[in-house]
Structure 1
Amino acid sequence: MKECKTPDVPTFHRLRTVQGNLTRKLGISTTPHTSPLGNKFYMNHPTRLLALDWANPLVRPHIRTYPEVEGPVSEFWQADKWLEEIPYEQLSPMWADWKDPANRHRHFYVNELSSTEGGEYVLLLRWITVKGIVHVDVHEVEYNDAYQIFVVNTSSRRRIVASSLSRNVLDIEKRVGHDINLTLNVPSAHGKPNPLRLVADSRPMFRLRVVPWSDDVSGNVSKQYNAHTNVYLTNANLTHQAASQEYFVRFCSTSPTASSSEQFVALSEDFEKGIWHEAYDCELETMVLYQILPHLLPADNPQQSETSSHIGVKGNYLCRRDLTGGSEKEKEQPQLYHAMHKVGEPRKVSDTVEAIQQQYNLAVEGEPGLLQKHYSNSGIKDKISLFWIDQILSKGKEMRGRHLEDQRTRDPRLNDPGLIEKEREKLTARIEKEIQTELRKWVVSQPVGSLEKLAENDIMRQMLRPGDHYNALLDKDIIDVHKDTPVEILHTYLLGNDKYVWAEMHKKWSKDQSNLFALRLDSSSTDGLSKILLRPAYFVQYKNNLIGKHFRALQQLTVFHLDKICSPALFNLWKATGELGALIWFPEIRDMPQYLEDLQVLIDNLLDAWGVVDPRRIMTKAKLHILTHIVEDVRRFGPAILYATEVFECFNSVFRQCSVLSNHQAPSHDIAETMGDFERFKHIASLGWWKEGGGYTQAGTGIQEMVRSKKDIYQRLGWSLNSKHTPGFVQPLAKSNQQGKALSWAQAISPSHTIPQPNLPMAESPASWNRCQYVVSQSQDECREGSWVFFRDNERKTAIGCIFQLLSLANANASSISANTRVVIKVYEASSVKDHRLNMPALLPSVKPSQLTKPEDILFICNVQHDCYSGKCDLSEGQWIRRQERQAVKETGKRWTHTSLDRFVLNMHALHNVHLLREALPRSLTQPTPFHSDRKAVHTALSMDLQITGEKRRADIQAKTKATKERNKAAKAAAAAAELAAAEAGLADEELSADATMSSQLPAQTSSS
């Protein structure tokens, strides 16, 4: 800037000073921490980061402070955990009529007595929203004038609109002239003013729920792996549309040395229920108090195992959620093999803590063998406790050697020659107890300095402590590390089941079959699918290196292209994979019981399909069994896409850019500070408020005008603010493409479509028509010519068809183009039964071949594939046009060519608009059918075969292991013999050399003598 002669350019040091001051004013600070294992790292605490959400005018409208009932489930606060499981004391405790200036300072708290506008007394229980309007669950209360007491009727619970409340508990106390007494001790309800009122001091109080995430990430952009363990977090009170964007991911900490378990110890400090944090609420224009509580813990399966103190997916008890498991031989037994296909007895946090304490006891007793068996049989292996247990075993071994075994240092009483055997055993046992007592005292005093933080009479001084000695999250009654680590669909389904099916298929292919599949896949229609980049040649060339987005594409399209290149069993497995995948990616659920029922059937079908292809796979791949838990997760948390981790994986690129700017002397500190500066810039650029002097301010008018006029600034920050078009919006062709291309109605409509010209308000005689680019459907899809759509026909019924033309009057102006546009649709009818091969509806031309439809009657886009099996489509040689670098390139060779058969298949494996598609079709076309009526009998038969093949397999492994050992032993013996022979030969050579030297010296010695 100075070189360009820009005036008043500050120095680089001055710029950094101002930036640092602004970051501190926003309350963002990077705090040092020492983990229980002694590792150093730095953290940006989420309580300060989330305070920025309250003060951000763009973010604050997206925050939902109360759970919601009625309507489709599409957000966390609409699912069962938030609605039914969370104790009321962990929800937002108060409400006020913020829109009424006269009453916005009259705060109503739960567990308090209030009265309505009609004069009824009620006891407030929980704030909740119904269709966006705040309600409150209440018990009815009656006032007894004679005894001056309030009688609570706990059997009469109802829901009233919050705005109907007129007096709070303070107003009632003034009115009745005495303190309030209730006749029934309702749990946590006392009738008197809620103690939180004193804490609030007239400030509103809310509770936020958050979603912490952790994983190992490379800090390098290059292929060289530079291991870091990161912790990020998102605000679960934000809508999914907002929270699924990188802008809303909050970086907390990173460390090349401290594990996620260690970093969660520091993070859990922000989850303390007794601590409230202050923030400025730009919507209410006042200070508010808030708490943050963890809602769930998404991650990949190894990380979730660590978070829940589980041994991992390779253990015998491979599930972090239930107790299903055993050795390979045990899993082959009918009962356990069947149990692997369903949800087992759930793990309990209390049992996990007890198991960890037993492991400490075994370590203190010096039983490493029993300890390893306990790890294997319980499936519990805590990262923090493992550190201390290894030290206990080492110290115990050293102490036992010094006090019991080494004659030079052992207890002098053991050296008494007159000591009889029984007395010696008693003395040895007494010394062993002393050693164990010493070890227990040592471990509870660790880490160094931990006891000084506790009061002298604190009972925790004599106990193993969460955070210090084992997983800190095991002590939090606000989260269950077993139930609240839900099935994550990216790693469990796309990189789990889909990856296994793809590998099972392509490993048997010849080169010709691979090329044939690529050509077939290349002929797929991708219109109406979620945004995918279909690269079939890449898929088959790098078939062992595909990632999630590739498997997402294969899951939706593969089943249409498998004729004669895979076995029937594998074809059924692909069908089960696509059917279940489509259901898992539901964005909203309108009928939860029916959805969960269908989901369970499709999970069962998938696992049973695997039983035909490879019955042993359920025993060796934990991800297949873990899929059985997704039914419970959807019921508790909502649609599975809410807790998918793609947004965190995407944010890793931001972390890497910060990492490469660090000199790697203090990476945790440098990256945390850089991320803090990034949060400061995001907040200011979003016109957020911060404290300046005695009040609150935001960016100046110049910056405000800039960010309002240049919306791409937010896109660069990871937040797309693109405003959506209203349904029915029509995008015309560019003016340069319209000139000289206006058509008459007869020219625009081909002879095969006998449709009269519509009578539109601006139509002239004869009218001229222009083609349009696209029309926006009710579901916000851009539908173009050739797109398959569901629409409302002339009889106002839902129909399906393919858009043939988008035509608007040539003289229509921009404001009236939608009203003067008509969509020409070739109508099709769905078959009344599913296609016997694909389990999908077939589409055939309707008896009414074409219809004119208004733009606003287009409901949603869908994906349709040509029925190549019925049409007997095949390869053909010719010249084709392919797009490269946005240019048309001619290519000669073979290509899959569709025949003229006018029969198509509605793609039920497509992820885009899958919920709308299933609602539009009759239940008979969407209801899944179980593969087996008696699954247990099928699993029993499979287990019988597995027992036979398993014994043979283990015998072969033992024989191979024995042969390898013998071969290694022989090789080792041969090597030793060769070494000995070489040594002897070397010794002989040395003797011969010595003799030769002596003989050469003899004549000289003789002559001299």
Structure 2
Amino acid sequence: MAHSQMAAHATTVSHQARVKNMGIRQPDKRHEDKKSKAEIGGLGSNNPFQFSGLCSQVPHPRIPTTEVTTTDDPTPPSLLLSGEQAVAPDVPAYDFFEDGTYASVRDSISDGVVDSSGRWLPCGPFSSAARFFNLRPTNTPEHNVTRPNPYDDTSYSPYDDRALCLTHMLFHSPEISLSEAQQLAVLDWAKELGAENVPSMYALQKCDQKLANLMGDMTQRFTTQKGDIYYVNDIGTMLKQDFSNMNLRKNMEFYPRELDGSVSEIWHGEKMLKGDNQEQLTPMTSYSGQSYFVNEISCLADGSYFIADMFIKLRGELSARGYRISPHPELGQDHFVYSSQLSVESLSSFRKTCVQLRSSHPNGVTIVGDPIFVSITEQRGATDWLQSHPLRELAAGREVYSIPFILFVDDVSGNTSKQWNKHWCCYASNAALPRKELNQRSNIRFVSTSQHIDPLEMLNGVCKMFEQAFDKPVVAWDAALGCEVLLRPYIHVISGDNPMQAIECSTCGLLSNFCCRTCLAGGQQKYKRSDEGFATLMRVGTLRTPNNTIESIDDQYKIAFTSNPTNRLALAQRKSGVKDTIAQSVFKQISDRRQELEEDTTLSEQEITLQLQREFKSKSEGPGRMNPLLSLKGFNVHLDTPTETLHTILLGVVKYLWTETTQNLDKSGAFSLFSTRFQAVSVSGLNCGPVPAYITNNRGSLNGKHFKLLVQTASFCLHDLVPIELIHTWSVLGRLAVLAWYPSIGNLDSYEQELQQAINDFLHMIARTVPALIIQKAKPHLLVHMPLFARRFGPLLGPSSERYESFNSTFRAASVHSNRQAPSRDIARTFALFDVVKHVMSGGTWYDSKKGGYIHAGSSIFQLRESSPLTNRLLGVKKQAKPFGTANVLSSSVSLSREQLIAQGLEVQGLLTTSTIYPAMSFAAQNGDKITSGSNIIFTKENTTCPVLGKVRELFADGKHNGTALMVTVQIYDWVELDCTVRMPAVCLTNKVQAISGLAVICEANLQHRCAYVGCMDTGSAPILQERQQTGMMQATLKHNDKINFIVNILSFHNCIALRKLCEGQFGCYDPLIALSEYSKIQQDGAAAVRNSKKPQDAKLDDQESNIGNSKQTLGLSSVYTEHVQTHTHYSPSTSKPKVSGRLGAQKRKRGKNTDDANGHVLRAPSFPQEEPLAPYVPPTLFS
């Protein structure tokens, strides 16, 4: 009875309406593991009745099982079990017994009922068994009915909900690295606060797997020839992410670009612009729906034929460079001759492709009589020039782009503590992005790391990955074009510190006879001390080539198979300056094997040599026998590892000059006075914080940031303390450093000439003051190649390693939070997951194999980017600066009328009578600098572009909230003379006051007080601050005697181009310091000074060089490693031994055997075999 009443009532109209109005609830899969067994009727639950399907009879031990006849009616949305197998319901089952509509039926059911068919209903109406009773309501409506699920919002796809999305992004952001304990603490904290839907660690781990599978496993396993295992993240996957992310794709450039001598990006450099790597450049372009490839014949608008060898952009217009061809006068219309003159044709003049020309030349086209085209024809493997480019068929109408990459390789500690835990690391950057994007940490990609292999072995796998992706282009979704494209990545330039780049170039290192990786400058110590040898170190020598380096390594392989090769190998390496770490390991194996054969067999020397050649044939003749960079297509390892600004200038010559200066100050007892002056320098306009006392208190443990401040300001503090030549050396070095940090180059020819002049001035000033530095350190010589690299790659900041050194902190965090059992694999997968999370949250697309197309994240994730500051911080998106001219006004400011300003003598054009004017605290200049009262600014006069120098007195804005800086009152500076001490222009503050528009302010300038001229002394005093409180102790301070005499600091890195335009032509402050006619005399005097100061140790060094062939040589620490140690140490003025300062030095002395670097890491010998230095390094008397 009860059954019939319920079944009848289930067919009523009210139930049909209820089913129609309710939505289908999606499964809460994230919480499925939390369901009790009673809820799902599983084994072991409190429910004694198990079921296997909707239509299955629920058995009971007290009654016989009866077969139930079912109908073929469609299953309603509340009952989603069908057939003989239970299926997880997509919606929660509709609870009949909880519905008030069925109260009368529910009340008629007793605790135990037997229906008309003999089936017994156990327990009460609310029991779990009764809830699974087999009811069949009426058919559902034909249309799909949906009901929102608060726990599963597809708008956060691929995440299940908002809570999981935000939590997972927080735990996998490289900006905030959390350990597992910290992650658990965050989850517990959220639960204690009563947050809903807090995911569990298990759910987050499942989410890791889900997201890692979105774009496939991008971490690949590699094995070296020795059997070492390491992992590399796939370059192709990185490219797919970049191209499908509109935020990055819109900024990319794929063609070399010429801007009438202006250079600011890597694609402006001559390596790309002149086609030095022509095979690697983008091979095609599209115009009017047609694809044009290089090395194909195209028809121009005038009917002539043209063969493009590369595509470039000239003044913003896409063009093709190549050769025109014309019909042969005698051989017929299918034979052509070429014009030997390269020409450039605008792409707008292209009309037909080689495919369209086939109908006009059914017999094909032949170009005769030219070696250039004959060689190209041989490479193509065909004589018919109407045959398509190999990529045309593969592209199938899609665009094909070549993407340059910058690689960085260095040794990095995997610990955040002082304990040195060396990992060789490789990072990469997409060089198709402008430098502004390259410098963002979020755009640096981790490639590989390993503790077990040499860096060249790691690069071997990385190069193979690049070559495979280049030969078989990567298919990616182009967010800008909205279609698929083919991508060919290639290595354009490799950055790193000098010891690392010496290894990459297969040279002997910075302490060897031939210390330069770019040229062959150098020689034995005796030659370097001669007039001729000393002079060669101050100019560019014969450039090295990969072919010559390969020949030297092959010659060393021949020597390695001879008897007693150690001596001969050492001599060959010293003479050529070539030493390959991969080949060195093979040489060691050959030597060990020879020793075994000599001890265990009776073979003759010749038979042993033949045996060794057979055993090591694959290793000595195969492609892996030496540095893979030497044979990399389109890559010249000696020219594509440019001089690096951070390690060569700041951590190189600036540190050397700082050491020499402090030694002079210590000798005269004037260092305390220098410290007082240095604390008083102005940092306004330098874009840095206050002058840290750390620089003078820990002068031997400085980093790049400290040296950058020193090179800009030290020359203003040295008057009357050191010789004037040393001050001039600081000034010249500052001018050189500013040129190296130019963000853009207006005229490349003028820049190259000025940079070369600054380098010459500095080297010759060093030859005057510390000539021993020229022959004992390699970094001064490396400076001579900077003009070449500026022309080849654009501004030297492009391939700079500063951005990658900053990224090392992210790597250390990933290393510390790994399990340390498989560091190469685990760290690579960690960064791969970082990239996937960033890609998803940034709006990138990916291919979904199930849907057969490209998809992106849900709409709510896009909204997070716009509304959530937390999301942007976790993704590394920098906060946008205030728009140009935006002013900051206090809420308590009182408005002023136009009449009040005019009464004060202040008026500016464009000021309306209705304007509401408020005094402002600050505003943003054209370049984003924050301008306040008292700032020294560069502005332009009304209706002119002439820059003027002034000091801000008052600021006025037209509103309280994000108002515009309407007017600025400025006190004008007058030019006075060239200050003879620092060789910079001096100015004087006048009483002239001028009202200018806030929109005319270009930037802030740095001015230093003219203390040497005015005679300022350290007669002031101020209380010493400790714990942000004044103590009873006093310290000396510098007291300025006036407030009107200043020097324009042309050594400022910040706004250097604006300062150059301001000061150019003022008293010749940018003129050369040393005349060309003086070079020879200075070089000879420097060489003589070095020879006269030669110590017994130097004579011993010469003896070792002369007897190199008569004594047995052993393989020990390389000069590369020794230079790395010395790079992170300094020399105390009182001793000639290397010394590490501060607490790191104390730790080193306590430990005894290891040497710490400036970051507290213990430096140990590299794992690869190295050569022994010529002799223990002996520092000069006054300099390290």
Question: Normalization by structure 2: what TM-score?
Answer: 0.72
Residues 47, 883 of structure 1: alpha-carbon distance in 2 compared, 3 angstrom cutoff: farther
**1:530 offset after TM fit, Å?**
3.0
In the alignment, which residue of structure 1 is the partner of 2:268? Answer: 78
**1:265 offset after TM fit, Å?**
0.6
Q: How do 1:444-463 residues align onto structure 2 when only pairs under 5 Å count?
A: 444-446=617-619
Distance (Å, rounded) in 1 between the aligned partners of 2:736 and 2:899? 47
Q: How do 1:745-760 residues align onto structure 2 when only pairs under 5 Å count?
A: 755-758=905-908, 760=910
Bigger fraction of residues in helix: 1
In the alignment, which residue of structure 2 is the partner of 1:38? Answer: 227
**1:320 offset after TM fit, Å?**
1.3
Q: 1:777 aligns with which of 916, 925, 935?
A: 925
In the alignment, which residue of structure 1 is the partner of 2:964? Answer: 817
Distance (Å, rounded) in 1 between the aligned partners of 2:247 and 2:333? 50
In the alignment, which residue of structure 1 is the partner of 2:683? Answer: 526
**1:215 offset after TM fit, Å?**
0.6
1:840 aligns with 2:984: yes
Q: 2:401 aligns with which of 199, 206, 229?
A: 206
**1:580 offset after TM fit, Å?**
1.0
Contact 1:219-1:660 at 8 Å conserved across structures: yes
In the alignment, which residue of structure 2 is the partner of 1:830? Answer: 975
1:911 aligns with 2:911: no
In the alignment, which residue of structure 1 is the partner of 2:215? Answer: 26
Q: What does the per-residue CA deviation read over 1:79-126, in whole Å, with 9 as the maximum and x for residues that have no partner?
A: 1111114243321011124xxxxx44x212122223345655433332
Distance (Å, rounded) in 2 between the aligned partners of 1:954 and 1:759? 72
Q: What does the per-residue CA deviation read over 1:592-626, in whole Å, with 9 as the maximum and x for residues that have no partner?
A: 11111111111111111111222111111111111
Q: What does the per-residue CA deviation read over 1:648-689, in whole Å, with 9 as the maximum and x for residues that have no partner?
A: 111111111111112211111111111111010110111100
**1:202 offset after TM fit, Å?**
2.2
Distance (Å, rounded) in 1 between the aligned partners of 2:353 and 2:806? 47
**1:255 offset after TM fit, Å?**
0.8
Q: Residue 874 of structure 2 aligns to which amino acid in structure 1?
A: R
**1:168 offset after TM fit, Å?**
2.3
Q: 1:636 aligns with which of 788, 792, 797?
A: 792
Distance (Å, rounded) in 2 between the aligned partners of 1:899 and 1:747? 36
**Helix, strand or coil at the partner of 1:805:** strand
**1:702 offset after TM fit, Å?**
1.0
Q: Residue 129 of structure 1 aligns to which amino acid in structure 2?
A: K
1:381 aligns with 2:579: yes
Q: How do 1:553-592 residues align onto structure 2 when only pairs under 5 Å count?
A: 553-592=709-748
Number of aligned residue pairs: 895
Q: 1:792 aligns with which of 921, 936, 940?
A: 940
Q: 2:1080 aligns with which of 926, 932, 936?
A: 936
Distance (Å, rounded) in 2 between the aligned partners of 1:170 and 1:957? 69
In the alignment, which residue of structure 2 is the partner of 1:260? Answer: 455
Contact 1:35-1:262 at 8 Å conserved across structures: yes
Contact 1:219-1:655 at 8 Å conserved across structures: yes
Distance (Å, rounded) in 1 between the aligned partners of 2:1050 and 2:1061? 12
Contact 1:601-1:930 at 8 Å conserved across structures: no
Distance (Å, rounded) in 1 between the aligned partners of 2:821 and 2:691? 43
Distance (Å, rounded) in 1 between the aligned partners of 2:941 and 2:460? 60
1:763 aligns with 2:913: yes
Residues 318, 88 of structure 1: alpha-carbon distance in 2 compared, 3 angstrom cutoff: closer
Q: 2:298 aligns with which of 98, 111, 114?
A: 114
Q: State the percentage of identical aligned residues.
A: 28
Distance (Å, rounded) in 2 between the aligned partners of 1:872 and 1:92? 62
Q: How do 1:460-471 residues align onto structure 2 when only pairs under 5 Å count?
A: 464-466=621-623, 468-471=624-627
**Helix, strand or coil at the partner of 1:852:** strand
Q: 1:129 aligns with which of 290, 313, 323?
A: 313
1:853 aligns with 2:972: no
In the alignment, which residue of structure 2 is the partner of 1:372? Answer: 570
Residues 716, 521 of structure 1: alpha-carbon distance in 2 compared, 3 angstrom cutoff: farther
In the alignment, which residue of structure 2 is the partner of 1:170? Answer: 355
1:707 aligns with 2:897: no
Distance (Å, rounded) in 2 between the aligned partners of 1:318 and 1:919? 38
**Helix, strand or coil at the partner of 2:972:** strand
**Helix, strand or coil at the partner of 1:843:** strand
Q: 2:513 aligns with which of 316, 323, 348?
A: 316
Distance (Å, rounded) in 2 between the aligned partners of 1:176 and 1:469? 48
In the alignment, which residue of structure 2 is the partner of 1:993? Answer: none
In the alignment, which residue of structure 2 is the partner of 1:972? Answer: none
**Helix, strand or coil at the partner of 2:967:** strand
1:625 aligns with 2:625: no
Residues 399, 907 of structure 1: alpha-carbon distance in 2 compared, 3 angstrom cutoff: same
Q: How do 1:378-777 residues align onto structure 2 when only pairs under 5 Å count?
A: 378-403=576-601, 410=602, 431-446=604-619, 464-466=621-623, 468-510=624-666, 513-535=670-692, 537-692=693-848, 693-711=851-869, 713-720=871-878, 722-727=879-884, 729-736=885-892, 738=893, 741-742=894-895, 755-758=905-908, 760-763=910-913, 769-777=917-925
1:89 aligns with 2:89: no
Residues 956, 166 of structure 1: alpha-carbon distance in 2 compared, 3 angstrom cutoff: closer
**1:383 offset after TM fit, Å?**
0.9
Distance (Å, rounded) in 2 between the aligned partners of 1:385 and 1:945? 40
In the alignment, which residue of structure 2 is the partner of 1:357? Answer: 554
**1:698 offset after TM fit, Å?**
0.9
Q: Residue 249 of structure 2 aligns to which amino acid in structure 1?
A: R
Contact 1:732-1:771 at 8 Å conserved across structures: no
Q: Residue 273 of structure 2 aligns to which amino acid in structure 1?
A: L
Q: Residue 526 of structure 2 aligns to which amino acid in structure 1?
A: K
In the alignment, which residue of structure 1 is the partner of 2:1013? Answer: 870
Give the gaps of 5 or more residues in structure 1: 98-102, 404-409, 412-430, 447-462, 960-1009
1:57 aligns with 2:246: yes
**1:8 offset after TM fit, Å?**
5.6
Q: What does the per-residue CA deviation read over 1:327-348, in whole Å, with 9 as the maximum and x for residues that have no partner?
A: 2222111111111111111112
Q: Residue 322 of structure 1 aligns to which amino acid in structure 2?
A: C
Q: 1:920 aligns with which of 1033, 1040, 1062?
A: 1062
**1:816 offset after TM fit, Å?**
6.9
Q: Residue 731 of structure 1 aligns to which amino acid in structure 2?
A: A
Contact 1:246-1:719 at 8 Å conserved across structures: no
Distance (Å, rounded) in 2 between the aligned partners of 1:958 and 1:261? 33
**Helix, strand or coil at the partner of 1:534:** coil
Distance (Å, rounded) in 2 between the aligned partners of 1:594 and 1:316? 34
Q: Residue 450 of structure 2 aligns to which amino acid in structure 1?
A: S
Q: Residue 754 of structure 2 aligns to which amino acid in structure 1?
A: D
Residues 585, 14 of structure 1: alpha-carbon distance in 2 compared, 3 angstrom cutoff: same
Q: What does the per-residue CA deviation read over 1:426-454, in whole Å, with 9 as the maximum and x for residues that have no partner?
A: xxxxx3222111111211234xxxxxxxx
- Bigger CA drift: 577-586 or 511-520? 511-520
Q: Residue 696 of structure 2 aligns to which amino acid in structure 1?
A: V
Q: Residue 442 of structure 2 aligns to which amino acid in structure 1?
A: Y
Q: 2:490 aligns with which of 282, 293, 309?
A: 293
Distance (Å, rounded) in 2 between the aligned partners of 1:719 and 1:443? 53
Contact 2:233-2:828 at 8 Å conserved across structures: yes
Distance (Å, rounded) in 2 between the aligned partners of 1:850 and 1:576? 35
Q: Answer with 1 or 2: which has the greater Rg.
A: 2
Distance (Å, rounded) in 2 between the aligned partners of 1:621 and 1:295? 29
Distance (Å, rounded) in 2 between the aligned partners of 1:668 and 1:898? 58
Distance (Å, rounded) in 2 between the aligned partners of 1:214 and 1:84? 27
Contact 2:1023-2:1030 at 8 Å conserved across structures: no
**Helix, strand or coil at the partner of 1:643:** coil
Q: What does the per-residue CA deviation read over 1:681-719, in whole Å, with 9 as the maximum and x for residues that have no partner?
A: 110111100112311111101111011223553443334
- Bigger CA drift: 354-363 or 645-654? 354-363
Distance (Å, rounded) in 1 between the aligned partners of 2:795 and 2:542? 24
Q: How do 1:798-809 residues align onto structure 2 when only pairs under 5 Å count?
A: 798-808=946-956
Contact 1:123-1:191 at 8 Å conserved across structures: no
Residues 302, 156 of structure 1: alpha-carbon distance in 2 compared, 3 angstrom cutoff: closer
